Structure 1
């Protein structure tokens, strides 16, 4: 049986109507002026022919008897393609904001757990740039897939299955006929229970072996960071300062997006001798500071960012989630943006060093006896008792940087112009900033709770301006340094 790992199942158990645990994306697709087909039908045919190439399309859940352990995956050969792929007209007048609001609404609803955990929505009526030839169409592809069913490796498998490098889709890989003995979801109660018990025993043994090391590393990950010389890093505290975004959320979402040139972002990193991810953190932190300043809020402590870190061993190709969560300082008490960038780099370096030691022992699967009802009860309590409103946050914001291809891709014959991530906010961390690199650009998707952040587009604008300012300051600092090192003639 194909058991969900502990980390995969956690996304299921932590889910509630207020906190859907699916990830998504908004791809902007371009159809040329001479296209005369039915794109909706093209998409359905394209996916149907490639379903066997990505497990997420046909895997669905079967729960264990009495929820004694995590569910298992089974294959569903009877897919209702019209349910999973839907057509939506953007309400006129179609603007960037109306598209983003539509995506936010679509992202608010839960996926149906009786079916494979994915949906695609074709958004028609998107605005088209004036400089494109008359008759050119922009179409949106909003997709959402449950995080329990899709991690980074699964995302790569999915992209390889449905994307092409030319406008003429390649022939799909030949489907392999399944054996007649496949039980599907017809397992008996005794068979399911026995499998769950054996799986838990094996995971208990593995966890027991690594528990002493894990305890020490967990302490290192949450304690205040230190600089290379051993001194305490720039006011990195055990817990993050409280902001209006570190509270209990509702099921309604607000979403905004923007893009910045990849080359210019790398230039900022090169000029300051830091990583591209450090630049992303600096842009995000500055954008949040400006947003809070508009609200009349100032912070006396550094904001902290939670960052997903892959713990996947070299060569591992399993489709389960193999990721942990670390945190780093955004050094927001430092006023000078370039000095702040250096402090962010010191914090991220410290985090990378710790996580490199953890990879070999970090469990992604663990005993699950009673986990479904226990973790679900905790998630329900977080919502009903509004615990996040009173507790200090572990971090202020979740920031994730997803590497993508630096070439033009096509979907069902349509050219992909950009691809914006649409991710997961949660209680106590209502803001999620995720970006993906694509074809020379960094595409940012910023999502939050509509009640806590109805004006999220203002944050996106502040972040974009922060990037421009950081680029100017970096170039000016480099020019000044070069000028001061020149020998007098």
Structure 2
């Protein structure tokens, strides 16, 4: 279900009152109440209280007063960021958005940091994020925070901004798009970022009077339709099986605290050019490469549990192969099924009071991970491409969304919540790859060096996020330390896998 966010016409409600120091005030008699969508309400369950994080490295010292002055005329124009959630899901009360006053001093947090007492700024940031994961947003206020750390990580990072937003405010794609709508190109302060789009070839649209080619085109189209129905049917059976009994056989054991366990967040900056080089050589997509190097990295990481380091005796390799073969790892992907309007629509909403569709309208896609030792590292990319191509030719996301919606309407929220809980508890990984700006952008005049998205409050012990930005690709892990006690090693294994695959590609080209 979607909501259209619009400005009400004059005469229907009283106007907004803007105070640059206090934020946004809604007059008491204004009727601005909306029910949460079922998907948004699901994020308020005690075991699925999900918070999205967007970590930004800033090139220059951060001026907090600029954000305080800009928010009332940009971000706070979005109703979700100036509303509180009323209702108690534990008492089966309907949850609703109610507009309220925003006190920016309670939403923009600037901790006092003494750089002389910090041995490692990177470790300080890691521990800050870990401690932040131990807390939740105050539901008596709009569900977002901005943490500003005057922390110098490297020569090109003079500060860090952490956006923390409750997932009920929107799906991941919408929230990242909204964040980017607040930025502008560093090279052109008036221009929005350029986001890569998937352009399809026009070759199939050219007129061709060759009867033989037209015949085979129609046969190919028929075969694709048959595959679409078969893949969808197969995926739905696996979805139902996962709800009923099918559980990952995973060495990543969850913490007894479940989704409330804090996450250790670590990241690495990869070269986007290296990933594109592999993509072009293997005739695949950036997403295929991201998934491929992740499968290779996890295989490398898990093989150490059997003592295999690549140079062991054949019996150790055989034991490792058997161990990896018995592992079943899957990722749940939350796919946004709404038409995507892009960051321009969100920018227009904030600047011109335009209408825009908004809401958590997501379907489930269960993505299997191929774990094992491969003699040729390029096989990881080929296997990833095969899986992703099949998932693209399936209506799994749409059917799972409507199945959940129908379950909610016919059997109630309690049964729908049980279905959602079973899916998430039987899956180990949450994986995503999001395309970011093609060029360097600035956040309220502050040039961004890196952008790293993550989350906490999820039931999965391992979260893996890829985020492209300019000529970089951010790899971000958020792990339950009970499952992954050495996240830096896992991160390094994924990075090393990219290097091995890149070397193999170069050898093949030569």
* Alignment TM-score, normalising by the size of structure 1: 0.72
- Structure 1 gaps, min length 5: 172-214, 226-236, 383-387, 480-489
Q: Provide the alpha-carbon RMSD of the alignment.
A: 3.6
Indicate the residue corresponding to 1:458 in structure 2: 489
> Is 1:268 aligned to residue 268 of structure 2?
no
Q: Quick one: distance in 1 between partners of 2:359 and 2:269?
A: 30
3-state SS of 1:400 partner: strand
Indicate the residue corresponding to 1:41 in structure 2: 65
Are the counterparts in 1 of residues 232 and 395 from structure 2 also a CA contact under 8 Å? no
> Is 1:158 aligned to residue 178 of structure 2?
yes
Of 227, 235, 239, 1:221 maps to 235
Shift of 1:343: 1.9
Are the counterparts in 1 of residues 333 and 364 from structure 2 also a CA contact under 8 Å? yes
Are the counterparts in 2 of residues 48 and 81 from structure 1 also a CA contact under 8 Å? no
Shift of 1:167: 8.4
Indicate the residue corresponding to 1:299 in structure 2: 324
Of 144, 150, 153, 1:124 maps to 150
Indicate the residue corresponding to 1:196 in structure 2: none
1:303-322 map, 5 Å: 303-313=329-339, 317-322=356-361
Per-residue CA deviation, residues 64-110 of structure 1 (Å, 9 max, x unaligned), is 7994453111211x212111110123761233232122112213311
| Count of residues paired in the alignment | 401
Q: Quick one: distance in 2 between partners of 1:242 and 1:392?
A: 14
Q: Quick one: distance in 2 between partners of 1:314 and 1:87?
A: 34
Indicate the residue corresponding to 1:484 in structure 2: none
Q: Quick one: distance in 2 between partners of 1:125 and 1:446?
A: 21
Are the counterparts in 2 of residues 300 and 333 from structure 1 also a CA contact under 8 Å? yes
1:92-171 map, 5 Å: 92-129=118-155, 138-152=158-172, 154-155=174-175, 158-166=178-186
Per-residue CA deviation, residues 168-216 of structure 1 (Å, 9 max, x unaligned), is 9769xxxxxxxxxxxxxxxxxxxxxxxxxxxxxxxxxxxxxxxxxxx99
Indicate the residue corresponding to 1:404 in structure 2: 436
Q: Quick one: distance in 1 between partners of 2:425 and 2:301?
A: 19
Shift of 1:358: 3.3
> Is 1:353 aligned to residue 393 of structure 2?
yes
Indicate the residue corresponding to 2:208 in structure 1: none
Q: Quick one: distance in 2 between partners of 1:416 and 1:357?
A: 33
- Structure 2 gaps, min length 5: 1-32, 192-228, 240-244, 307-319, 343-355
Shift of 1:45: 2.2
Indicate the residue corresponding to 2:478 in structure 1: 447
Are the counterparts in 2 of residues 430 and 448 from structure 1 also a CA contact under 8 Å? yes
Per-residue CA deviation, residues 242-280 of structure 1 (Å, 9 max, x unaligned), is 212456435222110012122221221221122211111
Shift of 1:52: 3.5
Does 107-116 or 46-55 show the bigger shift? 46-55
Indicate the residue corresponding to 1:362 in structure 2: 402
Does 151-160 or 284-293 show the bigger shift? 151-160
Indicate the residue corresponding to 1:30 in structure 2: 59
3-state SS of 2:338 partner: coil
In structure 2, relative to structure 1, the CA distance for the partners of 1:357 and 1:247 (3 Å cut) is closer
Shift of 1:23: 0.8
Indicate the residue corresponding to 2:346 in structure 1: none
Shift of 1:456: 0.9
Indicate the residue corresponding to 2:449 in structure 1: 417
Indicate the residue corresponding to 2:30 in structure 1: none
Indicate the residue corresponding to 1:438 in structure 2: 469
Q: Quick one: distance in 2 between partners of 1:96 and 1:419?
A: 15
In structure 2, relative to structure 1, the CA distance for the partners of 1:23 and 1:3 (3 Å cut) is same
Greater helix proportion: 2
Q: Quick one: distance in 1 between partners of 2:427 and 2:437?
A: 30
Q: Quick one: distance in 2 between partners of 1:324 and 1:392?
A: 13
